[in-house]
């Protein structure tokens, strides 16, 4: 009789612990979604207009490039390099999943497609897709809350993101989100094979309206040695009207 009571108690306790575990897991999942929603609210915008510097470090030597850019939602992106002189007039246009590159010196545009979108943009550690990305993470990834961690003395939520759609630049991400600003101050980007491809560090931001918008982003390509690229965004305007002609091939190929 005593043995039977003990077994019943153990069974009840086991069921209770199992139920508690399910509740905790559900709670963490909801928390993870809420965190990513705050991140998306910061960085995903209707439109942007900006000027940017790209500092490319190769073997300790720094190459600086400047460009202007426009975006509209996740479908449209336009970039035009203004310096150095050899890059001036080089332009990029993204419409949906298609991108074109125009080189002013030869007055000709070339389509960039497929795996080429993941290649280095203008010799930097950013790919074409990296620079043009403007889509909500919650639409692309399953989110899991891992715990609390710190990055550069900032207390962060640590999350793991696994792709739930095939059209993603990176299948898996580890992300550290600042608890105060909801900026992903660090992220590790992985291929489907589990190989670490890149690391991103966001080191500064600007308060624009209700958003904390990243303005300094360091990209480290783990497949290249002794190299990183810092992207600095300046003269940023968010959610403004941008003429539709900017996102056309006619504008891209204008003389």
pLDDT at 21 exceeding the cut of 60? no
Nearest to 246 by CA among 107, 54, 72, 106: 72
The total of other beta-carbon atoms located within 10 Å of residue 45's CB is 19
Q: Round to whole Å and give the CA distance between 251 and 255.
A: 9
- Structural domains of the chain sorted by starting position, each given as residue range(s) with its CATH number in brackets: 42-252 (2.50.20.10)
- Whether the bond between 84 and the residue before it is cis, its omega within 30 degrees of 0, is yes
Q: Which long-range contacts (CB under 8 A, 24 or more apart) does 75-79 make?
A: 76/247, 77/131, 77/132, 77/134, 77/247, 78/246, 78/247, 78/251, 78/252, 79/131, 79/132
Query: 80 or 131: whose pLDDT is higher?
Result: 80
CA angle at 219 for the pair 215 and 222, rounded to the nearest 5°: 170
pLDDT at 237 exceeding the cut of 80? yes
pLDDT at 6: 47
Rounded mean pLDDT, 190-212 = 95
Q: Which helix (H) or strand (E) holds 65?
A: strand 61-72
pLDDT at 3: 52
The answer to whether 159 and 180 are in contact (CB under 8 A) is no
Rounded mean pLDDT, 41-64 = 94
pLDDT at 167: 83
Rounded mean pLDDT, 187-195 = 95
Confidence grade of residue 118 (pLDDT, cut at 50, 70, 90):
confident
**Residue 143 half-sphere exposure toward CB, CA atoms < 13 A:** 27
Q: Round to whole Å and give the CA distance between 174 and 177.
A: 10
Per residue in 210-222, pLDDT (tens digit) is 999 999 999 999 9
Per residue in 94-108, pLDDT (tens digit) is 998 889 999 887 778
pLDDT at 22: 39
| HEC sequence for 35-63 | HHHHHHHHHCCCEEEEEEEEEEEECCEEE
Confidence grade of residue 24 (pLDDT, cut at 50, 70, 90):
very low
Rounded mean pLDDT, 183-210 = 95
pLDDT at 112: 86
């Amino acid at each position: 009789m005593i043995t039977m009571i003990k077994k019943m108690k153990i069974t009840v306790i086991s069921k209770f612990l199992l139920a508690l575990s399910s509740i905790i897991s559900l709670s963490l999942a909801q928390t993870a979604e809420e965190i990513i929603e705050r991140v998306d609210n910061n960085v995903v915008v209707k439109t942007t207009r900006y000027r940017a510097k790209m500092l490319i470090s190769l073997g300790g030597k720094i190459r600086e490039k400047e460009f202007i850019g426009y975006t509209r939602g996740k479908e449209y992106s336009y970039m035009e390099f203004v310096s150095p002189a050899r890059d001036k007039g080089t332009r990029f246009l993204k419409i949906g999943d298609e991108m074109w590159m125009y080189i002013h010196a030869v007055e000709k545009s070339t389509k960039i497609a497929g795996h080429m979108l993941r290649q280095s943009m203008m010799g930097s550690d950013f790919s074409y897709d990296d620079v043009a990305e403007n889509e909500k993470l919650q639409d692309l990834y399953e989110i899991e809350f891992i715990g609390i961690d710190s990055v550069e003395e900032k207390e962060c939520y640590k999350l793991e993101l696994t792709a739930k759609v095939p059209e993603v630049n990176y299948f898996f991400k580890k992300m550290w989100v600042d608890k105060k600003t909801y900026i992903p101050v660090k992220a590790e980007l992985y291929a489907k094979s589990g190989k670490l491809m890149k690391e991103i560090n966001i080191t500064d931001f600007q308060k624009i309206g209700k958003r904390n918008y990243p303005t300094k982003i360091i990209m480290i390509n783990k497949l290249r040695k002794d190299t990183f690229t810092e992207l600095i965004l300046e003269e940023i305007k968010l959610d403004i009207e941008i003429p539709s002609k900017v996102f056309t091939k006619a504008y891209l190929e204008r003389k």
